[in-house]
Amino acid sequence: MAEPKKAKGTLTIYDVANRAGVSIASVSRVLNGQGSPRAETRDRVMRAVRELSFVRDGAARALSNGLKEVVGVVFRRGGEELFEGEDESFLFIDVINRGIEVGAQRRGFDLLISSVGFNDDNVAARIAALAGKADGLILHDRMLSTVGIARLADMVPVVTLAGSPTPASLNVRCDNGSGIRALVRHLVLDHGYRSLGYVSGRADSPDNRTRSRAFENEAAAVGATIDTGPAWQGNYSAAGGANVIETLLDSRKKLPRAILCANDQTALGVIHALAQRGIKVPQDVAITGFDDVPVARHLHPPLTTIRQPMKELGAKAFDVLYSRISAGGGKADTVLPVELIVRESCGCPPGSSPPQNPSPAGAGT
């Protein structure tokens, strides 16, 4: 009584066949564009389909075909606080998903999405259930431990985003290292700044670790001095960035000539804190971000930053997953190029042209 087994008079291919006076095989063929049905057969089927408003059941098709045409997407949802600071990452996830969708639509796939909260219990079970409803899975961020991913990849093809490949799963990411290197080179080689600082992101973020390491290596390579230490620890938020600057200034530290920020949000906070203390950007200190969020171009001064091809990232993730689903192949680790966006916060004049130093950000691929 509470849960009727069938919605009601579920329409099947038999109903269509009856009405059209043909066999269900013919109906199926017409609907799939298989074989070469007689024009009359085709017309009768199409008319019956239209008159009955018939749609094939996806579950039955999937069972028969061994293909659901569904890609599962899992990501971590923030706390209940949607808007305070959380909204950027929120947007990012959705832009990537949009990209996945673009790729998926080319193949007739749809996105089955499921977010998991930080304190959800049976996460593994939930993801497993999702796996059962999809042909493959795309995992945002680090949702699962490496063994968790491996176990999952045992059941179904898996692509991770911004992680690293495992023996069983594929990975797609942006070239963080190149982005940071392009920034360092621009600041040091094009502008001649000799001292650099890096306001980091969350310590547990793989992206942040990569960026941080690239910063140190490249600064050394081009002979710039760097400021480091716990005082430079941010957390990807504007508040975190502002806090770093205030702490530094309160302890009467001399700021480096240029400061790279782990992301745009951080840069936003840093610029704000600097303005409060009457320090001019870029005249006194040059600032750069990472991400190129929508507001980056509207800051004062407009932010020099690194653009990640978010949408392409998603589309690529789907493509890689698809090739594994359909052919069992798929590149283990795909790295997408990023792009240096030169605006004014680095000290360049308004409307300036691309940077001068060679091979900026692994671009051109």
Partner DNA sequence: CTGAAAGCGCTTACAG
From the list a second copy, DNA, none, partner contacted by residue 82 (C-beta under 5 to 8 A by kind):
a second copy
Asked if 6 touches a second copy (CB under 8 A), the answer is: yes
Distance from C-alpha of 137 to C-alpha of 320, rounded to nearest angstrom: 11
Asked if 15 touches a second copy (CB under 8 A), the answer is: no
Asked if 105 touches a second copy (CB under 8 A), the answer is: yes
Distance from C-alpha of 241 to C-alpha of 298, rounded to nearest angstrom: 18
CB of 169 to DNA, least distance (A): 21
The sign of the CA dihedral 277, 281, 283, 285 is positive
- Please count the helices (runs of H) and the strands (runs of E) in the chain: 12, 12
Residues 38-77 that bind DNA (CB under 7 A): 38, 40-41, 54, 56-57, 60-61, 63-66
How far does CA 97 lie from the centroid of its chain?
Answer: 7
Residue from 9, 33, 36, 55 touching a second copy (CB under 8 A): that is 55
From the list a second copy, DNA, none, partner contacted by residue 32 (C-beta under 5 to 8 A by kind):
DNA
User: What is 52-118 written as a DSSP string?
Assistant: HT----HHHHHHHHT---EEEEEEE---S--SSSTHHHHHHHHHHHHHHHHHHHHTT-EEEEEEE-T
From the list DNA, a second copy, none, partner contacted by residue 13 (C-beta under 5 to 8 A by kind):
DNA
The β-bridge partners of 217 are none
Residue 348's CB is within 10 A of a number of other CB atoms, namely 20
Stretch that binds a second copy, among 108-116, 189-197, 283-291, 346-354 (CB under 8 A): 108-116
Q: How far is CA 45 from CA 28, 38, 250, in A?
A: 9, 11, 79
CB of 326 to a second copy, least distance (A): 6
Stretch that binds a second copy, among 128-136, 175-183, 271-279, 351-359 (CB under 8 A): 128-136
Task: Closer to a second copy by CB, 151 or 331: give it.
Answer: 151
Task: Closer to DNA by CB, 129 or 275: give it.
Answer: 129
Token digits of residue 12: 């099947």
Asked if 239 touches DNA (CB under 7 A), the answer is: no
Residues of the shown chain interacting with DNA in the complex, contacts defined by CB under 7 A? 6, 10-14, 22-29, 31-32, 34-38, 40-41, 54, 56-57, 60-61, 63-66
